[in-house]
Structure 1
Amino acid sequence: MSHAFRTLLRKVGSGPHTSQDLTREESAAATRMMLLQEATPAQIGAFMIAHRIKRPTGTELAGMLDAYDELGPKLQSIGDRPVFILNAPYDGRDRTLPLSLVTALILLAADLPVIQHGGDIMPTKEGVPLVTLWAGLGVDWSRLSLSQVQDVLERTGMGFVYMPAHFPLAQALVEYRDQIGKRPPFATLELIWSPYAGQSHVVVGFVHPPTEGMAQAAFVLRNTPLYTTVKGLEGSCDLPRERTAILGFSTPLPDSLERLHLHPYDYGMGGKNVPLTSPAAAVEAMLQVLQGKPSELRESVLWNAGFYLWRGGKAETLTEAIALAGQLLDQGSAWQALTRLRQATSAPCPV
């Protein structure tokens, strides 16, 4: 048993009246001991559920990110341009069709690099993970080493950090999610993590407003200069079409968040979010969009990709950015980006 870990466990697990928040250094130490399995299984499970009940603070999340930076994988810088980190809940989607895959291809076509990360089917939601949908599009990230992903990133502008292969220390903690039956704070950590050593534009999806506040506090402590928060579909960074998109932008003032409400009907983009019926149907729908065919999914993609093209500085106005997204689809540029990704991942450079 780790006596050092027990001390930290007692702080977060003493109940609603006597539990205490960890310092950044203590949170980093606790995360490090869990990742390295220096804490016992009983201690890890107890910490996860106690930390969820207490709720993590921005300071604690900053410490957890410090430990991830120390022990986790990092793709190396590919230049001075900020890379979009399109984060998504690791336990997947089960109601709405993910937009971030086609969005990423449109961003690549506009010369905006993108990194995603995630794992396989995961508790507690056990929804469809992004890596499954990428494989359906002919891009199998699961078979690549981290150095091969680095090569693909350098060649195409796209990378994917796959937790089972690239971060086995974190993968070893996944089984605890099933055993405790709840998302632990690691699930929040994954929404704000950037596995990239260069300049990044971190996009954080959230459902509950406190998550956004915790993320902002962690970014301020870690001097993260560029980030966007999105009250998105199922906690992802996909903008909704049936309601106002609630967004937050980082500002030069450390404790300030620029708030933006985007009404899709103001841009002719209102409608229903496309349901996720099956991975195969989702892949087929995405391929049709990439081939320039009209559909409800195309409208959702235009709304989502247009926002990120605008946020990435590729258009002066959101209206112009939405039009640019349509051009990149209709001209086949996004399809060409997929073709390059297929070629780069099917014949990767040797390890």
Structure 2
Amino acid sequence: MSNIFRELLKKVGSGNHTGENLTRAEAATATKMMLLGEATPAQIGAFLIAHRIRRPTGEELAGMLDAYDELGPKLQPIASVRPVIVFGLPYDGRTRTAPIAPVTALLLAAVGQPIIMHGGDRLPTKYGLPLVDIWLGLGIDWTSLPLAKTQQVFEQTGIGFVYTPVHFPLIKTIWEYRDQLGKRPPFATMELIWCPYAGDAHIIPGFVHPPTEAMFKVALGLRGMTKFTFVKGLEGSCDLPRDRTAIIGLSTPDAPPEIERLLLAPHEYGFTTKNVALSSTEELIAEIQKVLAGQPGELMQTALWNGGFYLWRSGICPDMRSGIAKAEELFTSGMVAAKLQELIQAVTSASQKSFQHTY
């Protein structure tokens, strides 16, 4: 048993009257001790559920991110005129609505906006559709690439994917606890703003509950990260909803940055106000292929709605309407489909070289 960890556990688990918040350094220490197995299973389980009940602070999230920085992987800086976008999407995936983030990534990369995503396989508590399965359905297997090969693909195509089971295996034990507890611990909040990139980054996490925005802002501010976009998206993702007004928080150029509120109503831009339901993975992939082929449909509407916003937010287009028009042009001209083929070739080549090197 770790006496050091026990003292940290006592702080977060002592109730409303006697409990205390962890300092940033203490949160980093607790996170490292859990990832490295220096705390006992009983201590880790107790900490995770107690911390969930109490809710983390922005300072604690910053400390947890410090630990991830120390122990986890990072893709190295690439030459880019724009900050690299890092999408923070829930690791336990989607169960109700069709994800569009991989399509958005292809769209942005097609016009020179680099983007990084991260995640794993089907994970608790939702065991929803993960990003890697969507990419695999499109012909891209991120799961077989060591980090150096992922870096190579990222440099070539402007798209990178940090696959945590291979690139950050230390967090596997946390997922086992999460399954047994049946609840998302504060790690789930922290993952959304984790930045596995060593260069200038624009962090774009999804969120569900309004207080999460304030925690994000504090945590990123403490870590000196000034470019962010917070999206109250579908199932906590970065995908803008169509069935309601999109609530978005934008970083301002102030020092330190504040949150500027943006409300986007789909009907004001000519979109129908409904989300595309998620059916089977195979059906989703077939619909995505239609979008990449420039064919009209409900998922194309979702792709244009999201693509227009992110083209504007990246600075590629001056406003939403021009962003939507540009997104439609990129799909119908075949540029997004061409980016997918480029990515398939890069990943396939990197996988073959990795296999040849191994054997």
Q: CA deviation at 1:286?
A: 0.4
Q: By how many angstroms is 1:221 displaced?
A: 1.0
Give the secondary-structure state (helix, strand or coil) at the position aligned to 2:215.
helix
Paired residues for 1:128-147 under 5 Å: 128-147=129-148
Residue equivalent to 2:10: 10
Q: Aligned pair count?
A: 351
Matches within 5 A, 1:1-351: 1-80=1-80, 81-251=82-252, 252-254=254-256, 256-348=258-350, 349-350=353-354
Output the CA distance in 1 between the equivalents of 2:328 and 2:40: 53
- Tell me the amino acid that sits aligned with residue 27 of structure 2: S
**One-letter identity of the residue aligned with 2:343:** L
Q: Is the 8 A contact 1:79 1:198 kept in 2?
A: no
The residue identity in structure 1 corresponding to 2:218 is A
Shift of 1:263: 1.1
Question: If the length of structure 2 is used for normalisation, what is the TM-score?
Answer: 0.96
Cα deviations across residues 198-244 of structure 1 (Å, max 9, x unaligned)?
11111010010111111111011111010000000000000001111
SS in 2 for 1:288: helix
- CA offset at residue 253 of structure 1? 3.5
Aligned-partner Cα distance in 1 for 2:183–2:169: 21
Instruction: Tell me how far 1:337 sits from its aligned partner.
Output: 0.5
SS of the residue 2:17 aligns to: coil
Deviates more, 1:3-12 or 1:270-279: 270-279
SS in structure 2 opposite 1:309?
helix
Report how far residue 18 of structure 1 moved: 1.5
For residue 271 of structure 1, report the CA deviation from its aligned partner.
Answer: 2.2
Q: Given residue 54 of structure 2, which amino acid in structure 1 is its aligned partner?
A: K
1:95-140 residue CA offsets vs partner (Å, 9 max, x unmatched): 0000101111110111111100001111111101110110000011
Q: How much does 1:338 deviate?
A: 0.3
Contact 2:251 / 2:257 at 8 angstroms: preserved in 1?
A: no
Instruction: For 2:138 and 2:153, locate their aligned partners in 1 and report how far apart those are by CA, in whole Å.
Output: 16
Residue type at the aligned position of 2:285: V
Structure 1: distance between partners of 2:46 and 2:180? 11
Indicate the larger mover: 12-21 or 66-75: 12-21
Q: Is the 8 A contact 2:107 2:330 kept in 1?
A: yes
Note the residue ranges of structure 1 that are not aligned, 5 or more in a row: none
Q: Counterpart amino acid of 2:178? A: R
SS at match of 2:317: coil
CA displacement 1:292-329 (0-9 Å, x = unmatched)? 11110000110001100000011111100100000000
Unaligned runs of 5+ in 2: none
SS of corresponding position for 2:61 = helix
Return the offset for 1:255: 5.5
The Cα shift of 1:260 comes to 0.7
Distance 2:257 2:226 in 1: 11
1:256 is displaced (CA, Å) by 1.6
1:34 aligned partner, one-letter code: M
Query: Does the CA-based 8 Å contact 2:226-2:257 persist in structure 1?
Result: no
Deviations 1:77-112 (A, max 9, x none): 002431111111000000000010111111011111
Identity, % of aligned positions: 58
Which residue type is aligned with residue 220 of structure 1? G
TM-score, structure 1 length as denominator?
Answer: 0.98
